[in-house]
Structure 1
Amino acid sequence: MADQAVDDGGTKVSAKGRRPAAGSAPTESQFLGRTRELKELRADIERAGLDTLSGRKAPRARVLLIAGKPGSGRTALAAELAGQVAESYPDGILRARLTEPDGTPVPTESTARELLTALGLPTPPGAGADDLGERLREALAVRRAVLVLDDAADAEQVDAVLPDSPDCLVVAVSEGPLTGIADVRPCTLGGLDTKSALELLGRFTGSVRITVDPLAAEGLVELCAGQPAALVLAGGWLAARPASAVADLSKHLRSEGEDGTALARVFRLAYTSLPSTAARILRLLSLAPAGLVDPHTASALAGCSVQAARTTLDDFAALGLLHAVPGPLPQYEVPGCLQPLLQGLVEAHDRPAEVQLARARMLERTVRLLVSCRAITETDSSPAQEKLAGMPRALRFPSPRAAEEWLTVRKPALLASARLAVADGELDTLARRLMAALVRAMVAHFGTQAAAPELYGIHRLVLDVAERRKLPREKAAALLNLADLDAQTGRSTDALARYRAALDAGREANDPYATGRAMESVGGAHQELGDYDRAADWYGRALAERLARGERVDAARLYGRLATAHTYAGRYGEALVNWRSAVAGHRKNGDVAAQARALSETARVQEYAGRPEESLRTCQEAVEWARRADDVRLQAALQLRLADTLDRLGDPAAARLHRAAAERMLGEELPESAIDPEQDANACEIRSASAEG
């Protein structure tokens, strides 16, 4: 239903003065009813809590609980309350859903990450629930905000993200009481009052059909138990049948008997009124990841065209069977209160093989869309353009911006799709393709750093599949990716454990790349932890393998990493030997820039070793190679090194000349550490001799 509350059965409906055409849904929203409940909830905000009565300052945020069955309009009431009090909370309204559409509780880690992202704060990839929860509480301690926590399964979920600041307000939505959270009085929802319920029906049917037979309309409200979700479905049924009277619908519902809830009876009537093809599509929408459907998803599930799927989804929205999600692209949400009913229909009418085939089609379509989403960014790649040209028009994006917009809008559903595919266990090949395509698309559009939190979760899923299917090569790759993200966020101990596990998996798979990469990374983790002896040992092992396989470029780089470990350990003689080997290796490989950086590091170690004359000569040689490499930044840094060395050798005039040359190169004073660490992640920073002294 277009622009209805994204709810399990909301009470927000059209506010337009004109009536919608038959078969169409209201298009603007206005809250109906619940006046008494809103008044009680607002009064509860100001109510003196137990801490206030005992003379203590409230240590945590006030929690308001809206309790009700799915379909009672509880989410819409929470949204309306948050909107009414928003002026008192200038830092805004934060929303999070605590239960998946299939009833699975959302992990606290995911909830905290979602709320931190909404606040515009970074969320380190791989951080645990405790760390993220603490970050969230710290962020909210200096803010006045409203947290709407929808569909809470238990008190622990709410307590884990409950702000410590009394200046925040938490509005929790749940089916029952949240035992364990102190000083919470639930506002329990029943049906809508008759006046509001009739107005809700009138938004679909027009006022005439209500006023000509008010008794029948009131009887219909009673048959629907005043439940907003049931009334919406009833209104959609009547809107699609302008010739039917309200009494006709009441008669049909009475013939359904007393089997099930009021919502189940109205839904059953709406479902059986659908053509068989549409009924099948509606059932299969229960398979949509995160309950989010777009035309491509519906098309793949049902095996129909995208345009036919779009038309059917619009029809469902008009009938109140779906909620249209506001946004730049067509997307719909399956109401949470209908999910179990649809799942029951799938179990009753569709064979397991048919359901699995529908899932496979959906995953295959998603993979192809992700491939297209990535390929559109590779404008200079002929193979990518050929791949795009070979795809159906419906799967192609008109521009990289359109592809990024689709990826952004569909990201929650795509991540949920990956989780569900892995949990299913029967479609692991498709799941692996999906995760690989998702990683590539996100990196292409968002960059590795920006997408790191999501990538961490995907790599964990890849690891689960690799372990389940006993795929050592994929296991090694997943462990390396996870360990890299651990290392980037300062969890060096965790990274070391994963690098070692990746080494074992690489050896099992007889994968020389994974083995060499893991060995080098183990050395890097030890170096980060300050264990330079072990770091040098592992770098030496990795170097031996590279030399045995004739990998000269990697060997030259590893000589530098080994020299760096020796430098940190104070073994300057061994460091110089390895830096000279690195210089020779880069010279043979024709890498002038790397040769210049290796010479600059050699000069630095010579300076540390108390050999300034040698350092001066080496530094001058490095300047010449940096000039040949056209590396202005390195040239300037080396000029400063020369200046410091000349100062120590008693030649201040020459030192001033070199400093002036450095300033002319970059037009401003350089910091003492002037090498860009991204140029060579294995090089120690260039520091002046005076700084070392």
Structure 2
Amino acid sequence: MTDQAVDTSGPARSPGTEEPSGATPSELLGRQRELKSLQEDIERAGLDTIAGRKAPRARVLLVAGRPGSGRSTLAAAFAHTLAGTSPAAGSAGPLPWAAPGRGTGDYPDGVLRVCLTDPGGARVPAVRTAREILGLLSLASPPGADADELTGMVREALAVRRLVLVLDDAVDAEQVDPLLPDGPGVLVLATATGPLTGVTDVRPCTIGGLDTGSAVRLLARVVGQVRITVDPLTAETLVEECGGLPAALLLVAGWIAARPTASVADATAHLRRTPEDTDQPVDARPLARALRMAHDSLLETPARILRLLALAPAGLADAHTASALAGCSVSAARRTLDDFVALGLLRKDGAAEPLYEVPGCLAPLLRALLEERDRPAETGLARARMLERTVRLLHSCRAVTEPEGSPARRTLAGLPRALRFAGPEEAALWLRVRLPSLVAAARMAVADGELDTLARRLIAALVRALAAHWGTEAAAPELYGLHGLVLDVAERRGLARERAAALLNLADLDAGTGRTRAALARYRAALDAGREAKDLYATGRAMESVGGAHAELGDYPRASDWYGRALAQRLAQGDREGEARLYGRLGAVHAYAGRYGEALRNWRAAASGHRRLGDLPSQARALSEAARVQEYAGRPHDSLRTCREAVDLARQAEDVRLQAALELRLADTLDRLGDPAAASLHRATAQRLLGEGGAAEKTCETNGVPVES
């Protein structure tokens, strides 16, 4: 149905238009009663207050309405009114109509907003919601933490703040209840389709379509007052056809505004000729019909781009996403996306390289259109193109951090200009802003099941980019989820080598956050996978890590057993560096267990291994630990002689900090031998080496664990 096609080569303007088509209304129309009801709900006494008890949890307000009714817009307006903030202030995300900031109202810590439903309609897991809230509060979340731990951190963080927490598009009470903090400092404002049965002391503020007068004024804002004034009755009829839904009205208004010669009567007739989607619920049909009318009025290429935006990860797209999906140039895709904004089909931020958002109420309708009009093979090809483009952008994002003249930078120079970043700062900003959609793209690729090779490449590229720009420690929460996705693909495809690598990475992150027993279980599973794949590196690393986990748990006999197994494999492979490291680990656990003879032999073997490798600093550290063991064993004179040998090696290596640390250890040994004068000379030497004795003393303390291990 294309009786009047739009080429979307540039946004049209109708005569007398006060605001651009698709513009967000500067004030909320027709919702004064609902705003008053929400305000009164805050002021009314809660059940606990009536019963004479202090309110144990945050107050919860609910805006209930069907998609397209403007429930999110109402929640945003009310939240920012309470907080005394502007929706554009404090922006930290791609489309942050609600973001933390300093407010001037009753909630000076501003507004936080998270969406509890994915664009595809799936509920967002509590782990992701909690991590998003902690991220908005600039708080780190431990990688691999479960939902209970993360929601507990959210409640604890919110308990000391005064802000409005908007939980948009909640599915049920189970999504809301775990996030409610104790105390009255936070107001929780949820939006949902129906009541949230299970959340105590909450009354829904139910909204439907706009009243006729407000809906007509909304049309006039977009299309201009003149076209409304000449035919007011038809405008009212158009409102009835749209069910008063603001989202449907804005789509029809965008259709009118793009056609300077079209009247309201033309739009009404066109809308009536557009067939209803009987597969949709009755209350969703006006919006579905308005979208179909806007879609069918586009030319073939823009219409296809619009449908393919249903594939945009997390409902977010940029010019590269649209270009890859449709197979067109980046500049043409950007123009088309801007025209969709003018038609009320998308929202965008104000960045130089903007990010576009598919409204949540339109995402499932676009997906239905995509399934109706496009063949699965074409859809799969478009998704593959998008993921391939994302991989190339991530490679570029990482390569820009490499030194000039490196192979990665030479490869980067050969890429098209549109795929290159001006510098590391621009790439880091792109990565930060695009991260939600990048992670969503990885999840989507894994869930697809037919694009596992692309999924693995995408995840690998994202991991490298995060490590390059953030560092592995700062990126650990994101990396944990990505390694989990790799594990899903490896288990589905029976890829033992990849399964071993993913399990090792996950176990390392578990160990780094103190979940040693969970790490131990994963290291054992990685060992089994490595043996299945006949991967000597994975099996050796897994055995060494199993030993480390047992050592952390204080089970030194098992730790030494596993270190011994790993050492036997390194000896068979001729891996001298690995041998020296494992001798050191064995020396440490034997010392902890009080087996000083075994510990000394292993530290001596470690020192010999480092000597053969020509690594003087590591040799000095190993001898230093051997001296410590000799002291524990009651052989102070031997300890003094070994420590002096270590100092000489550090001096030869010209490692000033290590030499100073060893001088201090030597001084401590001399003190215990009853020679304070010599000890004082060695402390003075350490102070001269570093200029400050405190820094050297901090370096000296290794607690029996060598630096190189």
Shared fold by TM > 0.5? yes
Please state how far the C-alpha of 1:682 moved relative to its aligned partner.
4.7
Q: 250, 263, 267: which is aligned to 2:291?
A: 267
Please state how far the C-alpha of 1:217 moved relative to its aligned partner.
1.9
Distance in 2 (alpha carbons) for counterparts of 1:235 and 1:258: 19
Q: 1:610 — aligned with what?
A: 634
Q: 1:480 — aligned with what?
A: 504
Q: 1:36 — aligned with what?
A: 33
Confirm whether residue 641 of structure 1 aligns to residue 675 of structure 2. Answer: no
Q: 1:58 — aligned with what?
A: 55
Match runs of 1:215-226 below 5 Å = 215-226=233-244
Please state how far the C-alpha of 1:265 moved relative to its aligned partner.
1.8
What amino acid maps onto 1:37 in structure 2? E
Match runs of 1:592-611 below 5 Å = 592-611=616-635
Confirm whether residue 529 of structure 1 aligns to residue 553 of structure 2. Answer: yes
> Deviations along 1:99-157, whole A, 9 cap, x unmatched?
10001110001111111111121100000000111111111222222110001011100
Which blocks of at least 5 consecutive residues in structure 2 are unaligned? 1-12, 84-104, 279-284
Equivalent residue of 2:590, what SS?
A: helix
Please state how far the C-alpha of 1:577 moved relative to its aligned partner.
0.3
Confirm whether residue 547 of structure 1 aligns to residue 571 of structure 2. Answer: yes
CA contact (8 A) 2:17 2:225 kept: no
What amino acid maps onto 1:127 in structure 2? A
Q: 1:569 — aligned with what?
A: 593
CA contact (8 A) 1:146 1:171 kept: yes
Moved more, 63-72 or 202-211: 202-211
Please state how far the C-alpha of 1:391 moved relative to its aligned partner.
1.8
**Would the alpha carbon gap of residues 48 and 38 (structure 1) be closer, same or farther in structure 2, given more than 3 Å must change?**
same
CA contact (8 A) 1:675 1:685 kept: no
Match runs of 1:134-533 below 5 Å = 134-256=152-274, 261-533=285-557
Moved more, 648-657 or 288-297: 648-657
Distance in 2 (alpha carbons) for counterparts of 1:676 and 1:411: 41
Q: 1:74 — aligned with what?
A: 71
Q: 1:585 — aligned with what?
A: 609
Please state how far the C-alpha of 1:257 moved relative to its aligned partner.
6.1
Q: 101, 107, 122: which is aligned to 1:104?
A: 122
CA contact (8 A) 2:627 2:638 kept: yes
Equivalent residue of 1:450, what SS?
A: coil
Distance in 2 (alpha carbons) for counterparts of 1:326 and 1:423: 32
Please state how far the C-alpha of 1:451 moved relative to its aligned partner.
0.8
Give the count of matched residue pairs: 668
What amino acid maps onto 1:340 in structure 2? P
What amino acid maps onto 2:587 in structure 1? A
Q: 679, 685, 693: which is aligned to 1:669?
A: 693
> Deviations along 1:243-271, whole A, 9 cap, x unmatched?
11112112222333666521122112111
Confirm whether residue 652 of structure 1 aligns to residue 679 of structure 2. Answer: no
CA contact (8 A) 2:660 2:685 kept: yes
Equivalent residue of 1:65, what SS?
A: strand
Moved more, 316-325 or 489-498: 316-325
Moved more, 655-664 or 446-455: 655-664
Q: 679, 683, 687: which is aligned to 2:706?
A: 683
CA contact (8 A) 2:309 2:322 kept: yes
What amino acid maps onto 2:557 in structure 1? D
CA contact (8 A) 1:479 1:498 kept: yes
Distance in 2 (alpha carbons) for counterparts of 1:234 and 1:484: 54
Please state how far the C-alpha of 1:381 moved relative to its aligned partner.
4.9
Distance in 1 (alpha carbons) for counterparts of 2:446 and 2:352: 30
Q: 1:131 — aligned with what?
A: 149
Distance in 2 (alpha carbons) for counterparts of 1:280 and 1:76: 28
Distance in 2 (alpha carbons) for counterparts of 1:395 and 1:676: 48
Please state how far the C-alpha of 1:168 moved relative to its aligned partner.
1.2
What amino acid maps onto 1:174 in structure 2? A
What amino acid maps onto 1:155 in structure 2? A
Distance in 1 (alpha carbons) for counterparts of 2:274 and 2:332: 31
Distance in 2 (alpha carbons) for counterparts of 1:400 and 1:578: 45
Q: 1:19 — aligned with what?
A: 18
What amino acid maps onto 1:339 in structure 2? A
> Deviations along 1:511-563, whole A, 9 cap, x unmatched?
11111111100000001111111111111111111011100111011110110
Distance in 1 (alpha carbons) for counterparts of 2:656 and 2:79: 56
Confirm whether residue 559 of structure 1 aligns to residue 583 of structure 2. Answer: yes
Distance in 2 (alpha carbons) for counterparts of 1:642 and 1:395: 57
What amino acid maps onto 2:706 in structure 1? A
What amino acid maps onto 1:181 in structure 2? V
Distance in 1 (alpha carbons) for counterparts of 2:708 and 2:465: 34
CA contact (8 A) 1:140 1:165 kept: no
Please state how far the C-alpha of 1:215 moved relative to its aligned partner.
1.9
Distance in 2 (alpha carbons) for counterparts of 1:195 and 1:676: 78
Confirm whether residue 622 of structure 1 aligns to residue 646 of structure 2. Answer: yes
Distance in 1 (alpha carbons) for counterparts of 2:577 and 2:276: 77
CA contact (8 A) 1:637 1:670 kept: no
Identical counterparts, % of pairs: 69
What amino acid maps onto 2:401 in structure 1? T
Distance in 2 (alpha carbons) for counterparts of 1:472 and 1:257: 52
Q: 1:6 — aligned with what?
A: none
**Would the alpha carbon gap of residues 646 and 676 (structure 1) be closer, same or farther in structure 2, given more than 3 Å must change?**
closer
Please state how far the C-alpha of 1:673 moved relative to its aligned partner.
6.0
Moved more, 148-157 or 611-620: 611-620
Q: 1:690 — aligned with what?
A: none
Equivalent residue of 2:693, what SS?
A: coil
Distance in 1 (alpha carbons) for counterparts of 2:170 and 2:447: 22
**Would the alpha carbon gap of residues 680 and 103 (structure 1) be closer, same or farther in structure 2, given more than 3 Å must change?**
farther
**Would the alpha carbon gap of residues 663 and 28 (structure 1) be closer, same or farther in structure 2, given more than 3 Å must change?**
farther
CA contact (8 A) 1:285 1:298 kept: yes
CA contact (8 A) 2:313 2:444 kept: yes
Confirm whether residue 45 of structure 1 aligns to residue 42 of structure 2. Answer: yes
Distance in 2 (alpha carbons) for counterparts of 1:49 and 1:523: 56
Q: TM-score, normalised by structure 2?
A: 0.91
Q: 2:8 — aligned with what?
A: none
What amino acid maps onto 1:50 in structure 2? L
What amino acid maps onto 1:230 in structure 2? A
> Deviations along 1:409-429, whole A, 9 cap, x unmatched?
111011000001101101101
Please state how far the C-alpha of 1:18 moved relative to its aligned partner.
7.6
Please state how far the C-alpha of 1:492 moved relative to its aligned partner.
0.2
What amino acid maps onto 2:427 in structure 1? A
Q: How big is the alpha-carbon RMSD for the aligned residues of Structure 1 and Structure 2? A: 2.0
CA contact (8 A) 1:633 1:674 kept: no
Please state how far the C-alpha of 1:31 moved relative to its aligned partner.
3.1
> Deviations along 1:315-349, whole A, 9 cap, x unmatched?
11110111113434211111111112111111111
**Would the alpha carbon gap of residues 641 and 259 (structure 1) be closer, same or farther in structure 2, given more than 3 Å must change?**
closer
**Would the alpha carbon gap of residues 272 and 18 (structure 1) be closer, same or farther in structure 2, given more than 3 Å must change?**
closer
**Would the alpha carbon gap of residues 676 and 187 (structure 1) be closer, same or farther in structure 2, given more than 3 Å must change?**
farther
Equivalent residue of 2:698, what SS?
A: coil
Please state how far the C-alpha of 1:489 moved relative to its aligned partner.
0.3
CA contact (8 A) 1:601 1:684 kept: no
CA contact (8 A) 1:230 1:267 kept: yes
> Deviations along 1:631-670, whole A, 9 cap, x unmatched?
2222222122112111111111111122222222223232
